Amino acid sequence: MPAKIIDGKAIAATLREDCAKEAARLVRDHGVTPGLAVVLVGSDPASQVYVRSKGKQTRAAGMASFEHVLPAEVSEADLLAVIDKLNRDPAVHGILVQLPLPKSLDSQKIVAAIDPAKDVDGLHPINAGRLATGLPALTPCTPLGCIILTKSVHASLQGMNAVVIGRSNLVGRPLLQLLLNENATVTIAHSRTRDLASVCRNADLLYAAVGQKEMVRGDWIKPGATVIDIGITRVPGADGKDRLIGDVAYDEALQVAGAITPVPGGVGQMTVACLLVNTLRAASAIHRLPPPKV
């Protein structure tokens, strides 16, 4: 029997609706309009698409959207000045600097300059440290979306064996911490892992986040496992348009897994929706209000 397809598009749409209701409540009851500022450096086409999508969905949820587009040759000092201005702007509750940045800029220095209370990407060392020690923190959006998708299949992740392939600061490491918070038993695998296929076959929950198309084959998957495919690779299609392919050999996995996210239509849909969640959380915390009900 083919796996259940986890509909990230539908789950993200519901989450955006919930965020819109919470944003309207904040405006109505407290006079607070959550505001998200996105900073884009350069003209990378993929980044431009992401920024437009974020702005559109932010406005659709009843939040304020601020977009700052800077040239690729912007100096580090000028970029830091923009971040400092946003840190001090009371209308801005969330700040996101679109990554990757041009190589002339120090990404770690730029991220560290963001006020941790407004760091809706969850990448500031303070937020990463709080997450690692089990304290409340703004969490990277993609891992947060992965947990929500997983819990659409399993009400509880307690005691389940989870394998995360990939150890990036953006996905793998924070996802490890979120799974530990759900009381899962977690293995984090990577390019140096010995017999990766064997490690994956032990997983009740398998998360693939390496950006290598169709690396995870069907015979790597434990029958009935839940598979969350986080990787995206663009490949030219026969019609001249790019196709998006995940890290998992989808057709093979569909015959083995119990549930699986498609690419596209899975994790990617959740990332922007979780950005709205983080903006709501940041706005509520900054104004010393109870956490939003999302």
Residues known to be catalytic: 54, 98, 121
The pair of three-digit structure tokens given for residue 5, joined into one six-digit string: 């397809």
With CA atoms as reference, report the closest residue to 259 among 151, 181, 167. 151
The pair of three-digit structure tokens given for residue 109, joined into one six-digit string: 């220095």
- ∠ CA 154-133-174 to the nearest 5 degrees? 50
**Distance from the first to the final alpha carbon of the chain:** 34
The DSSP letter of residue 107 is H
Q: Which residue has the tokens 């009900």?
A: 293
The Cα–Cα gap between 131 and 119 comes to: 13
Q: What length does the chain have?
A: 294
The Cα–Cα gap between 191 and 136 comes to: 31
Neighbours of 185 (CB within 10 A): 16
